[in-house]
């Protein structure tokens, strides 16, 4: 026929045209996501990548490198192992901070998910160094990470001339790839060597944040209860005295509301297992849950969207004493506890607690 010989196409039937028009109208009728919906999705993705990075990045990287050893790509893990051996002491010698990582836009979405807010009560002079006590630990230290590692809450603007860093378990820096991720953000091992280096080799204007309660405190983390493990934690005071670093209390209101945890009573066999794990591997295995990925009503491993307000208190001047006595350490430890209690009581009703709520220190 003429259509076949000329290479032409048969015209669309009326029914086909109607079907295409109906499909187009249906597509155009679908509501586009609002700016608020897009923002919520970005916030959820920002929190998801952070949780997955801290819970899985190190283990997955280790397993991947072991797998590659038995493939034709065996040279990659061998070279990386050689690099780790060569670079072994870097985390305790100032790390390898990348300022651009602190300014990632993703951290603004992370901040807005909860949201997280930083409150300044007193100035910090760049002429001194500081040890900031961060309380409470919570499950994943969201407030400490967001305020002292990312630039999303304006720490550098609120405290000009002060460089903040955060300490975490030394074992995290033995995990491949994860160690690079931690160092690039300004995290350091919570060891005397690492903290001493930051307070003695980096000039002044350094603020080292330490989550003093540590893994033991996470076992008591649950909404409505504010219990700190602090009474016998005095190593940070001794470090402050040796380097003349001022002590600064800080408290993250709302940190304990991000997850729900199955808390086992003291003396129970499950509690003893948690304690043993804590002593062997440095952290306590907690049975906790949060919201799911698709709905805030489902259960999952993401934190609930609850506001966190981190209040940084008044610096406590500390003299430089090379070998502080036990009595001197105890004195400044008590002064620090008094300053922390004052900070808590002056701000608790402003940020979600009642006048009757108390801070329990064990």
Q: What span, in angstroms and rounded, lies between the C-alpha atoms of 323 and 328? A: 10
Q: What span, in angstroms and rounded, lies between the C-alpha atoms of 105 and 264? A: 39
Share of the chain above pLDDT 90, in %: 66
**Burial zone of 333 (CB within 10 Å; 0-12 exposed, 13-18 middle, 19+ buried):** buried
The Cβ of residue 102 has, within 10 Å, a number of other Cβ atoms equal to 18
Residue 134 lies in a domain: yes
pLDDT at 5: 41
Residue 194 lies in a domain: yes
Residue 15 lies in a domain: no
pLDDT at 246: 98
Q: What span, in angstroms and rounded, lies between the C-alpha atoms of 184 and 98? A: 5
Distances (CA, A) of 229 to 190, 282, 356: 16, 15, 21
Residue 9 lies in a domain: no
Residue 215 lies in a domain: yes
Number of domains observed in the structure of the chain: 1
For the segment 275-328, what is each residue's pLDDT rounded down to a tens digit? 676 666 555 666 778 999 888 888 898 999 999 999 999 999 999 999 999 999
Residue 195 lies in a domain: yes
Q: Tell me the three state secondary structure of residue 13.
A: coil
Q: Tell me the three state secondary structure of residue 260.
A: strand
Domain range for 227: 36-353
Asked whether the predicted pLDDT for residue 332 surpasses 50, the reply is: yes
For the segment 203-216, what is each residue's pLDDT rounded down to a tens digit? 999 999 999 998 77
pTM score, two decimals? Answer: 0.86
Q: CATH no. for residue 201? A: 3.40.1130
Return all residues near 240 (Cβ < 8 A) that are at least 6 apart: 131, 246, 247, 318, 332
Asked whether the predicted pLDDT for residue 3 surpasses 50, the reply is: no
Mean of pLDDT values over 27-35: 66
For the segment 226-273, what is each residue's pLDDT rounded down to a tens digit? 889 999 999 999 999 999 999 999 999 999 999 987 766 666 666 676
Asked whether the predicted pLDDT for residue 96 surpasses 50, the reply is: yes
Residue 209: both structure tokens together = 């944040």
Q: What span, in angstroms and rounded, lies between the C-alpha atoms of 116 and 114? A: 6
Residue 250 lies in a domain: yes
pLDDT at 6: 45
| Average pLDDT taken over every residue of the chain | 88
Sign of CA dihedral 261, 301, 103, 113: negative
Residue 157 lies in a domain: yes
| Residue written as token pair 């609930």 | 304
Asked whether the predicted pLDDT for residue 129 surpasses 50, the reply is: yes
Task: Identify whether the C-beta of residue 334 lies closer than 8 Å to the C-beta of residue 238.
Answer: no
């Amino acid at each position: 026929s003429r259509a076949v010989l000329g290479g032409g196409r048969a015209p669309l039937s009326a029914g086909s045209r109607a079907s295409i028009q109906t499909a187009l109208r249906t597509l155009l009728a679908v509501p586009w996501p609002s700016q608020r919906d897009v923002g919520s999705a970005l916030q959820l993705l920002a929190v998801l990548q952070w949780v997955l990075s801290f819970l899985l990045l190190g283990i997955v990287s280790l397993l991947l490198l072991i797998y590659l050893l038995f493939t034709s790509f065996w040279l990659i893990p061998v070279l990386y192992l050689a690099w780790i051996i060569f670079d072994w002491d870097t985390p305790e010698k100032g790390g390898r901070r990348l300022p651009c990582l602190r300014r990632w836009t993703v951290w603004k979405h992370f901040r807005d998910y909860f949201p997280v807010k930083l409150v300044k009560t007193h100035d910090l002079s760049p002429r001194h160094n500081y040890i900031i006590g961060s309380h409470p630990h919570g499950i994943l230290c969201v407030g400490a990470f967001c305020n002292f590692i990312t630039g999303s809450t304006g720490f550098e603007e609120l405290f000009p001339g002060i460089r903040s860093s955060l300490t975490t378990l030394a074992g995290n820096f033995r995990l491949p790839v994860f160690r690079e991720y931690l160092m690039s953000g300004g995290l350091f091992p919570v060891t005397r060597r690492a903290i001493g280096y930051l307070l003695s080799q980096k000039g002044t204007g350094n603020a080292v944040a330490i989550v003093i309660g540590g893994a033991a405190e996470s076992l008591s983390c649950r909404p409505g209860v504010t219990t700190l493990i602090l009474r016998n934690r005095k190593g940070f005071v001794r470090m402050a005295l040796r380097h003349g670093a001022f002590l600064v209390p800080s408290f993250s209101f709302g940190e304990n509301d991000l997850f729900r945890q199955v808390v086992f009573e003291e003396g129970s066999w499950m509690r003893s297992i948690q304690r043993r794990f804590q002593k062997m591997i440095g952290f306590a295995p907690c049975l906790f849950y949060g919201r799911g990925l698709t709905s805030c009503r489902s259960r999952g491993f993401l934190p609930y969207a609850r506001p966190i307000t981190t209040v940084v208190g008044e610096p406590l001047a500390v003299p430089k004493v090379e070998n502080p006595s036990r009595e001197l350490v105890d004195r400044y430890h008590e002064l620090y506890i008094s300053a922390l209690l004052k900070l808590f009581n002056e701000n608790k009703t402003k940020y979600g607690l009642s006048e009757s709520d108390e801070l329990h220190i064990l």
